[in-house]
Amino acid sequence: MHMNLKDKTLWQRNAAAIGGMVLFAAGINFFIVPASLYNGGVLGISQIIRTLLIQVFPSLASGTDIAGIINFILNVPLFIVAYISIGKSFFSRTLVCLISQTIFLSIFPIPATPLVNDSLTASIMGGLLAGTGIGISLRSGGSSGGMDIVGMFFTKKYKNFSVGKVSLTVNAVVYGICAILFGIPTAVYSIIYSAVSTLMTDKAHTQNINTEVVIYTKEEPEAILDYIVNEFHRDATWWEARGGYTEETTYMIVTILSKYECVHLRRGLKNIDEHAFVVVKEGMHIGGKYEKHL
């Protein structure tokens, strides 16, 4: 039964990761590419290489968009980083994401005429879809590769780092190249797309949001403490208290989890103490030793 549940969870995560890549590819092919805008990071570099190759070899413009294939090739060194520094499960789901991303970028048709009439709308719509897709993939334990891998590496290493910050830094270089090669307007609207996409990524990536969790229970707290330590590999502090109205003995348990972990905590508490009262405060600034679980 345990293995079946584990396999089911694995399939659910892979399905979510692939679904995220569907949104990402839709945002790129339906809005960004028709508006002649560019993604950031490694995919943006791949799109620039694609454009330059088409200028030299016009025949490449027909048929499958080769940007996804170039992106896959450029991601190979980063896969080594993901495997060594972040973890095997992240590596495997990132591989699933990148393969599915390459397939969707190749099969999703690029409209001959843009779906929207202005570049601003295209950049916002593309950013909403693509950023949400990346965030969902990160939440499932994988990523679309590229700067997401670098971002996850630094997020794991530094407490106050977010996945989007690395992307913004690298994108500044990519869009500087776009400004030189394709003009200032292209770079400006691509930057708007990148900003919207980064915002949506950090909002959807709930593992990047710290929460303080306070649990009030009248049962013995050891079972809840064991669950927090064994399930999330987190520490917790508890003490005995007394209710102000009932004057009954109660127990308070305090721990710090990610918003993603907090969802699973609520589910687990139902099996331990369904009457437990839980208070959650998001966006905590944490000092000292605290490892992000990505």
Please write the tens of the pLDDT for every residue from 1-17. Answer: 444 545 556 787 788 88
First to last CA, the chain: 26
Which of 264 and 2 is assigned the larger pLDDT? 264
Asked if residue 207 has pLDDT above 60, the reply is: no
Q: Would you state the pLDDT for residue 38?
A: 92
The neighbouring-strand residues paired with 216 are: 252, 277
In the chain, what percentage of residues exceed pLDDT 90?
A: 18
The pLDDT tens digits for 26-73 are 999 999 989 999 988 888 999 999 899 988 888 777 666 788 889 889
Residue carrying the six token digits 């969870």: 9
Q: Would you state the pLDDT for residue 31?
A: 94
What is each CA distance from 281 to 106, 130, 212, 259, 292, in whole angstroms? Answer: 43, 28, 5, 10, 17
The pLDDT tens digits for 151-167 are 667 766 665 666 556 66
pLDDT average, residue stretch 229-255:
84
Distant-in-sequence, close-in-space partners of 213: CB < 8 Å, separation ≥ 6 = 254, 255, 256, 257, 262, 265, 278, 279, 280
Q: In the structure, what pLDDT confidence band is assigned to residue 209 with cuts at 50, 70 and 90?
A: low
> How far, in Å, CA of 252 to CA of 186, rounded?
55
> How far, in Å, CA of 82 to CA of 33, rounded?
28
Asked if residue 230 has pLDDT above 70, the reply is: yes
Query: Nearest-5° angle of CA 12, CA 13, CA 17?
Result: 120
Q: Would you state the pLDDT for residue 146?
A: 74
How many other CB atoms sit within 10 Å of the CB of residue 10? 14
In the chain, what percentage of residues exceed pLDDT 70?
A: 79
pLDDT average, residue stretch 106-115:
86
Q: pLDDT averaged over the chain?
A: 80
Q: In the structure, what pLDDT confidence band is assigned to residue 202 with cuts at 50, 70 and 90?
A: confident
pLDDT average, residue stretch 200-219:
74
What is each CA distance from 216 to 147, 219, 222, 224, 277, in whole angstroms? Answer: 41, 9, 13, 10, 5
Asked if residue 96 has pLDDT above 60, the reply is: yes
Domain 209-282 matching CATH 3.40.50.10540: the answer reads no
Q: Would you state the pLDDT for residue 270?
A: 81
Q: In the structure, what pLDDT confidence band is assigned to residue 285 with cuts at 50, 70 and 90?
A: low
Burial of 69 (0-12, 13-18, 19+ CB in 10 A): middle
pTM here? 0.69
Q: Would you state the pLDDT for residue 225?
A: 86
Q: Would you state the pLDDT for residue 114?
A: 84
The domains of the chain are located at 2-207, 209-282
> How far, in Å, CA of 38 to CA of 190, rounded?
6
Query: Nearest-5° angle of CA 105, CA 109, CA 115?
Result: 110
The neighbouring-strand residues paired with 257 are: 211
